[in-house]
């Protein structure tokens, strides 16, 4: 069969003559049963080598040179068998999501890149200390999370933070700062600063952004935050949200890192609250622009305010809407 959904797989398993307690469902079939994939063409199983040898199916080598046996929609092998990393689905032992992700990352096939990202994001949403724990197991303990805020606004600096949390740190609900209410961000901001081993906050001004572009200015702000931390502790590894940095210490760039890493999530809160406060301060000085509400982003009301009241110091002159206004008044 092809394009087998969850029920199709269960029907096929129910018709199988193998003993239920002798095998586990693995790979894509396991992901379909756990509702992480919609369909699969093959039901892959694994068992121990003795039971494998007793199965009277046709045998071949898979694309990696490992022996497998096959029968209609099924294939079974022994090299991925692990009866401790399982979850029960409708009385069948299935490879758990963590093990599925580990195997897919190890094989690193192009066709699996989307499901790898989906699994990684889902598992980290349940536990955002996964990346940190992998480093702790390698005896790497002083880990900095790095994130930025403010690449899109028309006014003000881009702000970055680096935060190093203790291994036993726990703050229920800590995630990407954009997903938190302002009230919760402010509470978390104080808690993180109080409990962090070290933290640093860097910024690149509008002038720097205009001179070297926002991408490079963001890297400057990140490195400033990292260096502040390194002046406090011997930082061993840096986890960065999305952006790769050239550093003289090991680093890992993680897509959607503010969801996947607790240290990056903490840094995102520090950066966000710090920059928002800058916008509140600017709003007190220039209330007609509405900085307290839009934080400098190019909303309709913000553009209208610029057109009505003109530009003040702090606008990014290379950004489209600002550049257009400057060209009109030449």
pLDDT digits (tens, 9 = 90+) for 247-290: 999 999 999 999 999 999 999 999 999 999 999 999 999 999 99
pLDDT at 172 over 90: no
Angle at 264 between CA 263 and CA 268, to 5 degrees: 120
Crossing angle for the helix pair 113-126 and 97-107, nearest 10 degrees? 140
Count of alpha carbons within 13 Å of 7, Cβ hemisphere only? Answer: 0
The domain boundary residue, chosen from 95, 126, 157: 126
d(CA 204, CA 271): 12
Task: Assess whether 272 and 139 both reside in one domain.
Answer: yes
Q: How far apart are CA 110 and CA 124, in angstroms?
A: 22
Q: Is there a single domain that holds both residue 137 and residue 275?
A: yes
Count of structural domains, the chain? 3
Please report whether residue 1 resides in a domain: no
Q: Is the confidence at residue 9, as pLDDT, over 70?
A: yes
Same domain, 140 and 163: yes
| Whether residue 171 sits in one domain with residue 271 | yes
Is 9 in contact with 29 (CB distance < 8 Å)?
yes
- In a shared domain, residues 232 and 244: yes
Residues 268 and 296 in one domain: no
Kind plus residue range of the DSSP H or E element containing 239: strand 237-241
Residues 94 and 201 placed together within one structural domain of the fold: no
Q: What's the rounded Cα separation, in Å, for the pair 251 and 241?
A: 11
**Are residues 206 and 316 in contact, defined by beta-carbon separation less than 8 angstroms?**
yes
* 329: confidence class by pLDDT, cuts 50, 70, 90: low
Averaged pLDDT of the chain: 95
pLDDT of 330 higher than 70: no
The answer, yes or no, to whether residue 71 has pLDDT greater than 70, is: yes
Please count the residues of the chain: 330
- Supply the range of the domain harboring residue 262: 132-280
Q: What percent of the chain has pLDDT over 70?
A: 99
Residue 325 is predicted with a pLDDT of: 82
Q: Does the structure show a pLDDT above 90 at 125?
A: no
Query: Is residue 253 domain-shared with residue 203, that is, in the same domain?
Result: yes
């Amino acid at each position: 069969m092809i394009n087998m959904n969850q029920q199709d797989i269960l029907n096929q398993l129910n018709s199988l003559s193998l003993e239920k307690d002798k095998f586990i469902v693995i790979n894509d079939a396991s992901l379909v049963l756990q509702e992480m994939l919609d369909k699969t063409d093959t039901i892959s199983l694994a068992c121990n080598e003795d039971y494998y040898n007793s199965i009277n199916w046709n045998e071949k080598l898979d694309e990696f040179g490992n022996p497998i046996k096959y029968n209609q929609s099924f294939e079974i092998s022994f090299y991925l068998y692990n009866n401790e990393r399982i979850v029960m689905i409708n009385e069948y032992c299935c490879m758990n999501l963590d093990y599925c992700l580990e195997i897919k990352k190890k094989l690193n096939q192009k066709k699996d890149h989307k499901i790898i990202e989906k699994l990684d994001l889902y598992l980290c949403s349940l536990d955002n200390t996964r990346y940190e724990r992998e480093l702790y197991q390698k005896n790497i303990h002083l880990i900095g999370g790095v994130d930025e805020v403010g690449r899109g606004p028309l006014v003000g600096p881009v702000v970055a933070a680096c935060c190093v949390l203790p291994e036993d740190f726990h703050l229920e609900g800590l995630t990407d700062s954009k997903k938190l209410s302002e009230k919760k961000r402010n509470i978390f901001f104080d808690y993180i600063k109080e409990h962090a081993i070290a933290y640093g906050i860097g910024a690149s001004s509008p002038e720097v952004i205009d001179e070297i572009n926002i991408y490079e200015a963001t890297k400057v702000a990140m490195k400033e935050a990292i260096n502040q931390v390194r002046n406090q502790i011997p930082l061993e590894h840096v986890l960065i949200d999305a952006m790769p940095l050239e550093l003289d210490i090991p680093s890992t760039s993680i897509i959607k890192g503010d969801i996947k890493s607790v240290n990056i999530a903490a840094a995102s809160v520090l950066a966000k609250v710090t920059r928002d406060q800058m916008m509140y301060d600017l709003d007190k000085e220039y209330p007609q622009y509405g900085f307290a509400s839009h934080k400098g982003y190019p909303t309709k009301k913000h553009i209208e305010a610029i057109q009505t009241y003109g530009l003040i110091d702090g606008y990014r002159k290379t950004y489209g809407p600002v550049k257009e206004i400057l060209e009109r008044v030449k």
